[in-house]
Structure 1
Amino acid sequence: MTARKFDLIAFDWDGTLFDSTVAIARSIQLAVADVGGTVPSDEQASYVIGMALLPALAHAAPDVPKEKYNDLANRYRYHYLKQQALITLFEGVLPLLEGLRERGHLLTVATGKSRRGLNEALQHADLRGMFDGSRTADETAGKPHPLMLQELMAEFGVEPERLLMIGDTTHDLQMARNAGCASVGVAYGAHAAADLQSCAPLYVARDVAQLQQWLGANA
């Protein structure tokens, strides 16, 4: 077994571990339609995944006035919760996480979800206890601000060069750059491989199997 290069691995949730990209994008589109805004395209709705909810909705629906943001957020939650029971982990995620724990890595989540949303997702995926820590967008700064990762590093006493961020959006990878940390992109989520490459990740995985193989040899 090779020596660990990273003590702490931080995962994004939606589109990285949880196969929720399509459900989130569709929920955004339906919510915008409900409040009378111009419905974003699939690409526009997918782009904002990973951001905190209100900034994401504002970016996806720039013609919706601010006084309707609460209604917009409530309609998004309504549509997402209707689909949540059908969303699952990507195939291969569970053995990937178990293998990393066996190697002694600390595992954390850094997500644009709310704390309530993450807790519900962890319970749904039966992953409570899998992660050593987590940060959500409603309890710290949203991506790509580096505060999520800075707080996790402080909590576990890990230096930036010993943390690896894994995510499916440029928001995730830019957060890692802003925190002085390395990153790996996954191209099976919200953003295309070419966009992820623009953030200079160490690697871009096309599927979970590729991610597991790379981590086994390089993390």
Structure 2
Amino acid sequence: MVSNGAGASGRTAELVLFDIDGTLVHAAGVGRAAIEDAMIEVYGTPGPIDDLPFDGMTDPQIVRTLLRAEGFSEAEIAPGFDRLWPAYAARLADEIDERRERMRPTPGVPEILDAIEAEGAALGLLTGNIVAGAEGKLSAVGLWRRFSFGAFGCDDADRNRLPPIALERAFRHTGTRYGPGRTWIIGDTPHDIECARGSGLSVLGVATGRFSVDDLRRAGADEALPSLGDTRRVMSALASA
């Protein structure tokens, strides 16, 4: 359970699901660069990639959005996915090798993961990254092994359908059924908040991406903080409902 950080009992989170980009990691643009190169290799174009904010989108959603903007039909897009994702994984590995020194966890991440685990809560991922992207980015900053399960963009292109997948995998891993009142999602975009709300889960917004604390509050976050850097404050937030 996640207590309020002061030893008091009360309503607690027992499962915490983290977004990756902008929430756990500043990835120095490796994902965007890898998707661009892979799309050029497979489809001949990355579409209007410079005009599309990726924040909160799943990887398949990003690709479809860009290609549809270029006039591709679904019948033209879908067959390329079998080639696209291996190409993306290979390009991502190259980009990480080149930019590793610029990649870093967001403030307070190792400490908050330690604190949540110390309280006996489970840690999982809920991310738009495909598995290869999640593993590559988190491994580069020493965080991949902190998470034993999660839901990913390759499970469903619609982020709002990922929470039930994450909850089922949490059950398989821990033997515990989690649901509303026991689960928090932590993310840095309004898409994370919409995703949590769609499944009745609590959501903590962190302003370590493109959106401010006020933006995240207006989007409907239960709690919103500047970052995960104040461990006690984050734990207090996760003890509320």
TM-score range, shorter chain: 0.7 to 0.9
Alignment of 1:25-36 (within 5 A): 25-28=32-35, 35-36=44-45
Match of 2:126 in 1: 110
Amino acid in the other structure paired with 2:92? Y
Q: 1:54 to 1:133 in 2, by over 3 A?
A: closer
Matched, 1:97 2:97: no
Moved more, 55-64 or 168-177: 55-64
Rg: which structure is higher? 2
Aligned length in residues: 215
* Residue 21 of structure 1, CA deviation: 6.3
CA RMSD for the aligned pairs? 3.0
Match of 1:136 in 2: 152
Amino acid in the other structure paired with 1:22? G
Match of 1:65 in 2: 72
Q: 1:214 to 1:148 in 2, by over 3 A?
A: farther
* Residue 215 of structure 1, CA deviation: 1.9
Match of 1:196 in 2: 216
- Unaligned 5+ segments in structure 2 are 1-6
Does the residue aligned with 2:224 lie in a helix, a strand or coil? strand
Match of 1:184 among 196, 199, 204: 204
* Residue 18 of structure 1, CA deviation: 1.5
* Residue 103 of structure 1, CA deviation: 1.7
RCO higher in structure (CA 8 A, sep ≥6): 2
Match of 2:234 in 1: 215
Hey, what's the Cα distance between the residues in 2 that align with 1:125 and 1:6? 26
Give CA deviations for 1:72-111 in whole Å, capped at 9, x if unaligned: 6566545433322313322421112111111222111112
Alignment of 1:150-189 (within 5 A): 150-152=167-169, 154-155=171-172, 156-189=176-209
Match of 1:206 in 2: 226
Q: 1:60 to 1:191 in 2, by over 3 A?
A: farther
TM-score (norm 1): 0.79
Hey, what's the Cα distance between the residues in 2 that align with 1:194 and 1:205? 9
Matched, 1:148 2:189: no
Amino acid in the other structure paired with 1:46? F
Amino acid in the other structure paired with 2:124? T
Q: 1:106 touches 1:132 (CA, 8 Å); kept in 2?
A: no
Match of 1:14 in 2: 21
Match of 2:95 in 1: 83
Hey, what's the Cα distance between the residues in 1 that align with 2:54 and 2:179? 32
Match of 2:54 in 1: 46
Q: 2:38 touches 2:84 (CA, 8 Å); kept in 1?
A: yes
Q: 1:150 touches 1:179 (CA, 8 Å); kept in 2?
A: no
Give CA deviations for 1:153-211 in whole Å, capped at 9, x if unaligned: 6443123111010012222221111111110112212545454334311222222314x
Hey, what's the Cα distance between the residues in 2 that align with 1:153 and 1:50? 22
Q: 1:11 touches 1:108 (CA, 8 Å); kept in 2?
A: yes
Amino acid in the other structure paired with 1:59? T
Q: 2:60 touches 2:157 (CA, 8 Å); kept in 1?
A: no
Does the residue aligned with 1:217 lie in a helix, a strand or coil? helix
- Unaligned 5+ segments in structure 1 are none
Amino acid in the other structure paired with 2:53? A
Matched, 1:125 2:141: yes
Moved more, 109-118 or 172-181: 109-118
Hey, what's the Cα distance between the residues in 2 that align with 1:139 and 1:172? 16
Amino acid in the other structure paired with 2:94? K
